[in-house]
């Protein structure tokens, strides 16, 4: 028996009762840093809405990276499933989420569960809800790399959630097309933008960077700052070592360049970074940053170099050029609009070319963000509200199935 397998979820906060009659209950589930960042604006909007009662559950798939997000957005978790274990695998995480969330679903009986993206938490949450015939809203639906095995296991998680979801909230028209190509009913798909843009706007408006980051910005003033993040499984090993060596040599050669790298806690990243980048001039290795600090660094960057998904969606809002440390991306809009360039194994060439000729770097500030305008969460919550409050909804429909105009769900 796995340690803690039968432990029931802990309810850590009071659930707010919405005023008015029979509010619909929405359970919001997340487990990792990007999910929490992207669901924070949705939780804000839901809590503002009279017709919804919001329950927040965290699987805590990644506890250390998640905690600062909960802190900065003041998210109160009602149920902490506490699934994280050393050396966890998708199967250990998935099994625990299924078991522990099931108890919460049985107790709370939400009308809808909202899951975000493509983590094992999101898939297991959707599957647990499906097995209890609870409606599923999938936020950031329709991303596809086209390769079931890459990114692993995220591409499979996304596709599986699409098969189970009742409502698909897409960031872009391209995401919608990916779903209709898989015969998902068009009437259940809504293009709203990505909620990460809302989260970024909120943070830039409401939170100042810490003293530590202000000091770092002062210290690197006048330098061309490269902000680096890398943590994906596909980047581990030789590819990561090569990219880090390229950056080390590039910064060494060009005295007006600095690299700033919040180092992901994954041991594969830590070991390679320690070996290649530790104790080098104009090279700043940091612990993972809270969102306000990271946003301030993105804003102050000359160039962002990253294999992150979320960063591809954020860079355009800040007008920052991005080199994507990947062979392909399920966010082609970033490349198509010209804000980002796919580097594959050619980081050295891309760095040298864009240092010698900065015209691309200087031109991207004017590009509109293809991933949204900062209103995605409001749109999602308004759509849910319309669905549940539709005048045409009869009592019978409310019990068995719901209709909004032609939308039957």
Contact positions toward ligand UDP, by CB under 6 A? 33-34, 37, 196, 229, 231, 262, 288-289, 291, 294, 308-311, 314
Q: Starting from the edge strand earliest in sequence, which strands make up the sheet with 24-30, in order?
A: 10-11, 79-80, 52-58, 24-30, 112-116, 135-141, 167-170, 189-191
Question: If residue 58 lies in a helix (H) or strand (E), which one and from where to where?
Answer: strand 52-58
Rounded Cα gap, residues 244 and 325, in angstroms: 11
What is the smallest separation between the CB atom of 199 and ligand UDP, expressed in angstroms?
Answer: 7
What is the smallest separation between the CB atom of 231 and ligand UDP, expressed in angstroms?
Answer: 6
Active site includes 233? yes
Rounded Cα gap, residues 323 and 304, in angstroms: 6
- Out of 140, 198, 313, 314, which one is annotated catalytic? 140
What is the smallest separation between the CB atom of 37 and ligand UDP, expressed in angstroms?
Answer: 5
- Out of 233, 234, 373, 382, which one is annotated catalytic? 233
What is the smallest separation between the CB atom of 184 and ligand UDP, expressed in angstroms?
Answer: 23
Beta-strand ranges (E) seen in 99-246 are 112-116, 135-141, 167-170, 189-191, 224-229
Count of residues in the chain: 409
Q: At what angle do helices 211-219 and 291-299 cross, to 10 degrees?
A: 20
* Residue placing its CB nearer to ligand UDP in the complex, 78 or 314: 314
- Out of 35, 45, 78, 154, which one is annotated catalytic? 154
Active site includes 154? yes
* Residue placing its CB nearer to ligand UDP in the complex, 45 or 314: 314
* Residue placing its CB nearer to ligand UDP in the complex, 108 or 293: 293
* Residue placing its CB nearer to ligand UDP in the complex, 289 or 300: 289
Reading the block at residue 189, the tokens are 């798909």
| DSSP symbols for 297-309 | HHHT-SEEEE--H
* Residue placing its CB nearer to ligand UDP in the complex, 65 or 95: 65
Those residues with Cβ within 8 angstroms of residue 306's Cβ, 6 or more apart along the chain or in another chain: 227, 228, 229, 230, 312, 322, 323, 324, 325
- Out of 49, 62, 225, 264, which one is annotated catalytic? 264
What is the smallest separation between the CB atom of 302 and ligand UDP, expressed in angstroms?
Answer: 17
Angle (CA) 93 63 131, round 5°: 35
> Residue 119: which region, alpha, beta or left (left: phi > 0; alpha: psi -120 to 50)?
beta
What is the smallest separation between the CB atom of 15 and ligand UDP, expressed in angstroms?
Answer: 27
Active site includes 182? no
* Residue placing its CB nearer to ligand UDP in the complex, 288 or 338: 288
**Radius of gyration from C-alpha coordinates of the chain:** 22
Which residues are part of the catalytic machinery?
Answer: 118, 140, 154, 231, 233, 264
């Amino acid at each position: 028996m796995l340690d803690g397998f039968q432990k029931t979820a802990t309810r850590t906060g009071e659930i707010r009762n919405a005023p008015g009659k029979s509010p619909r209950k929405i359970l919001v589930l997340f487990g990792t840093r990007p999910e929490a960042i992207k669901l924070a604006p949705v939780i804000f909007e839901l809590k503002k809405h009279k017709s919804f009662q919001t329950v927040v559950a965290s699987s805590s798939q990644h506890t250390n990276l998640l905690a600062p997000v909960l802190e900065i957005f003041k998210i109160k978790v009602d149920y902490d499933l506490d699934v994280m274990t050393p050396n966890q695998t998708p199967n250990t995480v998935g099994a625990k989420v299924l078991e522990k969330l099931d108890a919460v679903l049985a107790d709370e009986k939400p009308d809808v569960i909202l899951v975000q993206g493509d983590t094992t938490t999101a898939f297991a949450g959707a599957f647990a809800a499906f097995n209890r015939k609870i409606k599923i809203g999938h936020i950031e639906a329709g991303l596809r790399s086209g390769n079931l095995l890459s990114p692993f296991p995220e591409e499979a998680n996304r596709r599986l959630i699409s098969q189970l979801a009742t409502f698909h909230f897409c960031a872009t028209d391209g995401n919608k097309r990916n779903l209709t190509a898989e015969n998902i009913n068009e009437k259940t798909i809504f293009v709203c933008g990505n909620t990460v843009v809302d989260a970024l706007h909120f943070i830039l408006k409401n939170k100042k960077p810490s003293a530590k980051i202000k000091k770092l910005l002062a210290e690197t003033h006048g330098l061309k700052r490269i902000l680096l993040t890398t943590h994906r499984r596909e980047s581990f090993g030789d590819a990561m070592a090569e990219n880090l060596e390229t950056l080390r040599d590039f910064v060494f050669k060009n005295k007006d360049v600095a690299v700033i790298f919040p180092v992901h806690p994954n041991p594969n990243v830590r070991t390679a970074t320690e070996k290649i980048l530790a104790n080098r001039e104009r090279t700043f290795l940091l612990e993972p940053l809270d969102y306000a600090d990271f946003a301030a660094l993105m804003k102050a960057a000359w160039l962002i170099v990253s294999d992150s998904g979320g960063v591809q969606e954020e860079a355009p809002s800040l007008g920052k050029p991005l080199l994507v440390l990947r062979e392909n991306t399920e966010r082609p809009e970033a490349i198509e609009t010209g804000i980002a360039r796919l580097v594959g194994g050619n980081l050295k060439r891309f760095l040298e070319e864009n240092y010698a000729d900065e015209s691309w770097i200087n031109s991207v500030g004017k590009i509109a963000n293809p991933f949204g305008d900062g209103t995605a969460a409001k749109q999602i919550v308004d759509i849910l509200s319309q669905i549940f409050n539709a005048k045409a909804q009869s009592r019978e429909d409310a019990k068995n199935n719901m209709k909004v105009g032609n939308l039957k769900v």
